[in-house]
């Protein structure tokens, strides 16, 4: 069920019987010369809408702009400052709690959002408002991603390229895959910006001239479909597990 397509009486029926919602989040940021700036939010929405369709759980509209200042040197990147992003996500999650939702899965496809979504989840849990957790698609299938690609990226690499080839093939600039590979770098290790246990880089531009890593020519729509199906299965299982939990068991333990 997609919230924005429903009427308020229809949603009332959902809230009477269910208490779980999926909130897709991504970014609007550079993904190299071959992928659209909407890559992350397109992937997040793809997963959330598919799982909502398969399970009947509620999917909210997508949060399209995330914490992306580290991509700001590239044209068109948009970002929210981290405190603003956290407050915004917390606010809309409290909207859901007001209507009766007491457990939320942040269906995330942007690494820059992870720590902030976990912080929002902690805030809401500490206040016993609801239980919210962050889910990142590639983290749910790490072995498959490693098996499919010799060097998966991370940013704008073959795993994201393959996913967009599957979900929105018309948006992939197939004639620029070699340019993406040759103008970027293979990995963060190859950039040599980690020194003696410290990360010396702050921005993507510190590592790569065209904004991406990995070998984009290793991507195919078939690999994207394989990852999409495997990760979707994981998210369905997470939804069913979370829905089955007693709410009080999800709340903080008492002080010892």
Q: What is the mean pLDDT of residues 26-45?
A: 98
* Digit-coded pLDDT (tens) for 105-139: 999 999 999 999 999 999 999 999 999 999 999 99
Q: How confident is the model at residue 71 (pLDDT cuts 50, 70, 90)?
A: very high
CA distance 31 to 213: 10
Residues 6+ apart with CB under 8 A from 128: 251, 252
> What is the per-residue pLDDT for 32?
97
pLDDT greater than 90 at residue 101? yes
Cα angle 56-61-62, degrees, rounded to a multiple of 5: 115
CATH fold for domain 3-157+231-250: Rossmann fold (3.40.50)
User: Nearest-CA neighbor of 194 among 186, 182, 206?
Assistant: 206
Q: What digits encode the pLDDT tens for the residues 4-20?
A: 999 999 999 999 999 99
Residue 1 has pLDDT above 90, yes or no: yes
Tokens read off for 186: 């293979």
CB 136 within 8 A of CB 109: yes
Residue 151, pLDDT > 90, answer no
Interacting residues of 28 by C-beta distance below 8 A, sequence separation 6+ = 37, 38, 40, 41, 64, 65, 66, 68, 76, 77, 78
Average per-residue pLDDT for the chain:
96
pLDDT of the residue at 135? 98
What does the pLDDT average to over 228-243?
Answer: 98
- pLDDT more than 90, % of the chain: 94
Q: Residue 179 belongs to what H/E stretch?
A: helix 177-183
Per-residue model confidence (pLDDT) at position 152: 81
Tens of pLDDT, residues 159-211: 999 999 999 999 999 999 999 999 999 888 888 888 899 989 999 999 999 99
Label residue 243 by pLDDT band (50, 70, 90): very high
From 112, 109, 37, select the one nearest 75 (Cα to Cα): 37
Task: Report d(CA 148, CA 118) in Å as an integer.
Answer: 29
- Mean pLDDT calculated for residue range 43-64: 98
pLDDT of residue 94: 98
């Amino acid at each position: 069920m997609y919230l924005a397509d429903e009427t308020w009486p229809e949603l009332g029926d959902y809230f009477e019987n269910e208490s779980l919602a999926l909130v897709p989040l991504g970014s609007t940021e550079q993904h190299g010369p071959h992928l659209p700036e909407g890559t992350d939010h397109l992937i997040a929405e793809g997963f959330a809408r598919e799982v909502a369709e398969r399970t009947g759980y509620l999917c909210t509209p997508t949060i399209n702009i995330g914490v992306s200042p580290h991509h700001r040197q590239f044209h068109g990147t948009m970002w929210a400052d981290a405190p603003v992003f956290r407050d915004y996500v917390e606010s809309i999650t409290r909207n859901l709690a007001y209507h009766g939702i007491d457990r939320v899965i942040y269906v995330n496809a942007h690494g820059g959002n992870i720590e902030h979504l976990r912080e929002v989840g902690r805030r809401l849990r500490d206040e016993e408002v609801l239980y919210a957790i962050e889910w990142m698609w590639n983290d749910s299938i790490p072995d498959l991603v490693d098996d499919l690609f010799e060097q998966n990226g991370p940013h704008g690499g073959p795993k994201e390229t393959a996913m967009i080839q599957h979900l929105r093939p018309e948006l992939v600039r197939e004639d620029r895959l070699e340019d993406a590979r040759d103008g970027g770098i293979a990995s963060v290790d190859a950039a040599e910006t980690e020194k003696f246990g410290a990360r010396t880089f702050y921005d993507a531009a510190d590592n790569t001239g065209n904004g991406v890593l990995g070998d984009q020519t290793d991507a195919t729509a078939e690999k994207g479909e394989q990852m999409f199906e495997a990760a979707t299965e994981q998210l369905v299982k997470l939804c069913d597990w979370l829905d089955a939990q007693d709410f009080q068991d999800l709340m903080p333990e008492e002080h010892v």
